[in-house]
Structure formats: structure tokens, C-alpha cells
Amino acid sequence: MRTEIDSGGGPALFRLVRFWSRRWAAGITHDEGGDVTHILVLEAISAAGRPAQIGAVAVELGLDRSNASRMLAATVAAGLVTRTVSPQDARRTWLDLTPAGEDLLAGARAWQEQTFARLVADWPAADARRFAAYLVRLASSPSPSSPPASSSDRPSGAS
């Protein structure tokens, strides 16, 4: 794996993250009528695999289990998520989206797609598709929220 790419991609990525982390919530909650916390939980459940367990949702949210549970409780109270006891193991709880949660998540994703389309509207179609594919690939990487291992975390001889 290459570790020294001097393309400016890292700073550009984080500039975009800073910009959109402050703006997407206002746009999406205004257009779709949801609370950003609810949308984050719905996206995490979807990403974790449905039905999901709280531990997997916490990992997707990048939070500890306690904080994820508080966010989840608010989303359940809003009628967007159901909790059911696992029939195989009563100690486990399954989380899934209600029809209202599915609608809100679909609206949020539509808003995200529309925003992306506006951002690349003046790009050649092939470039926009290629960029979208690269973003999907990056977001689909194992543990995208985990920071890369430092050189001291690697086995000796690994680069």
C-alpha cells in the first residue's frame, strides 16, 4: 500500500468534510423535516446491516455504546426505529427502521444525491461517475472511520 502520496487529496478531503459537516445537517433537516441525529442513526443502522445490534450501530456512528444508545433512544421515541428482542437470544436486541424511518432515510439519501449532482453538474459525465465510484469505494473500505495505523502499530518489516 502506498503511504506517501503527495497529491493534495488528504487536505482536500478534510476541507470538504469540514465544509459539509457544517452544512449538510441544515439542508437535509430543512428539506426532509428530520433531526440530524435521527438521520445519523438511520444511516448507521442501514450501514451495519438490517436488523442491526447496538454495538454495530455504535461502531458505524464512531461512538461508545452508551452515547449511541442515547441517540438510538431518541430515534426510537420519534417512531423511526423499532427494537425487538432476538428470538434466538433474549439478551440481544435487534434494531430496524420503521416505515417512517425508511421514508426519512430515503429522503435524506435523495437530498444527498441531489447535492452531489449539483456539485458536479459542470463536470463531464464520465468524470462525475468516476468520482462517485471512487467516493463509494472510499466509504466502503473496511473501517473507514478508523484512523490509519501508525508506523509503530505495524509489524516490523511492513511498509
Estimate to the nearest angstrom the gap between the alpha carbon of 112 and the chain centroid: 12
For residue 139, the model assigns a pLDDT of 83
CB 157 within 8 A of CB 1: no
For residue 122, the model assigns a pLDDT of 96
For residue 52, the model assigns a pLDDT of 94
For the residues of 117-144, what is the DSSP string, one character each? Answer: HHHTTTS-HHHHHHHHHHHHHHHHSSST
**Helix or strand run (H / E) with residue 84:** strand 81-85
Q: How many helices (H) and strands (E) does the chain have?
A: 6, 2
For 48, the grid coordinates are 451495519
In order of start, what are the domains of the chain with their CATH numbers? 25-142 (1.10.10.10)
pTM, entire model: 0.76
- pLDDT below 50 — which residues of the chain? 1, 144, 146-159
Per-residue pLDDT tens digits for 73-98:
999 999 999 999 988 888 899 999 99
For residue 7, the model assigns a pLDDT of 76
For residue 149, the model assigns a pLDDT of 41
Distance, CA of 24 to CA of 50 (rounded, Å) = 25
